[in-house]
Amino acid sequence: MKKITLKKIAQVFNVSVSTVSKAINDSHEISDDLKGKIQQYAKENKYRPNKLALNLRQKKTKTIGVVVPNILNYFFTQVFSGIEKVANEKGYNLLSCISDESYDKEVKTLEFLGGNTVDGIIISMAEETQFKNKMDHFQNLVDERIPLVMFDRVSNEVACDKVVVDDYEAGYKTTNYFLSTGCSTVAVVTAIDHSSVGRLRVEGYKKALDEANIPYDDKLVVRLDKKDDLELRISFLLNYKKVDAIMALDEMTAVEVLRIVKNKGYKVPEDISIIGFTNGKLSRYVTPALTSVSQHGTYIGEAAANILIERMEDNSNRDFSTLTIKTSLVMRDSTKKRLDQ
């Protein structure tokens, strides 16, 4: 009881393949009698058209490729789930790949997806790619006119639609919030200093300091390597100066910093306030619950998918756009109240 094809049905009824095709697609060209019989037979034998053949013929696959650097990161799974939602609504399927933050894997994945496997691609760059700043594999897609949407970690060397978070403003806003609660020595801990996203947040941080006439001190920015011992680095930081606020650029780091700081006997937020990026479940359930920057991942996913689908279904070559999503601060218990309230 293996796959049944139009050909086989045609043999059964002693008609041509094209007749069967039309019958099954309910064409008016076929007599109701024959149509009925064939349709019934098809149903009984669970005929299912071969998608491959269909796609080959119609030169589209109705599927969109998604590439994320890391699925164990809550932000990306949120985005993913947003993409999934609208893709599903609009009848598209998702072919999803993980680059694992590796440049090579990203290149391979994109090559695969480029081979007529999908009609369009949504991607956030691997960290290594941003570090090496090699964009040829994206350029290839663009050259081949494969609709492409980049989100979060994007490059302005690539001409395509983009959806980004306003990370600069987020860093600025966060720092300002610390200052407005009476903190004066704000440190930053980043594990993503190779990514544009991380850099922008630090820039925003600098701007806020500048506006408050606080000199920028590079020693207060802790840049983590993969194998760095966070605990050690935090010790150094706290010995270096009496910091009273820490902005952590991803959720895991924020949670870890919280743990370490508590372990060392500091009270959060009385002694040290903490704000983390990515408003995931961890932030909510940790004690004290972390004030965090929400990047609205699900929304970003939805937006990216909508933009891509529009681009795919629309031939008018309108200009590429960059959609910037504002973040919002979700207040919880790891920060003090504002002084003026």
Partner DNA sequence: CTGAAAGCGCTAACAG
Partner DNA sequence: CTGTTAGCGCTTTCAG
DSSP annotation string for 81-148? HHHHHHHHHTT-EEEEEE-TT-HHHHHHHHHHHHTTT-SEEEE---HHHHHHT--HHHHHHHHTT--E
* Cα gap 111→71, rounded to integer Å: 20
Question: Rounded to the nearest 5°, which phi and psi values hold at 63?
Answer: -130, 150
One character per residue 118-157, x = contact with a copy of itself (rule: CB under 8 A): ----------------------x--xxx------------
Smallest gap from Cβ 75 to a copy of itself, in A, equals 12
Rounded (5°) CA angle 201-166-197: 45
**Residue (31 or 50) nearer to a copy of itself, CB:** 50
112 interacts with DNA by CB under 7 A:
no
330 interacts with a copy of itself by CB under 8 A:
no
16 interacts with DNA by CB under 7 A:
yes
CA nearest 183: which of 234, 220, 230, 233? Answer: 220
114 interacts with a copy of itself by CB under 8 A:
yes
Of 24, 97, 158, 188, the one binding DNA (CB under 7 A) is 24
Q: Which partner from the list DNA, a copy of itself, none does 340 bind, CB cut-off 5 to 8 Å by kind?
A: none
- Residues near DNA (CB under 7 A), total: 30
Question: What stretch of H or E contains 205?
Answer: helix 196-211
Question: What stretch of H or E contains 65?
Answer: strand 63-68
Binding site for a copy of itself (CB under 8 A): 1-3, 46, 48-53, 55-56, 61, 63, 71-72, 77-78, 80-81, 84, 88, 93-98, 105, 111-112, 114-117, 140, 143-145, 252, 255, 259, 281-282, 285-287
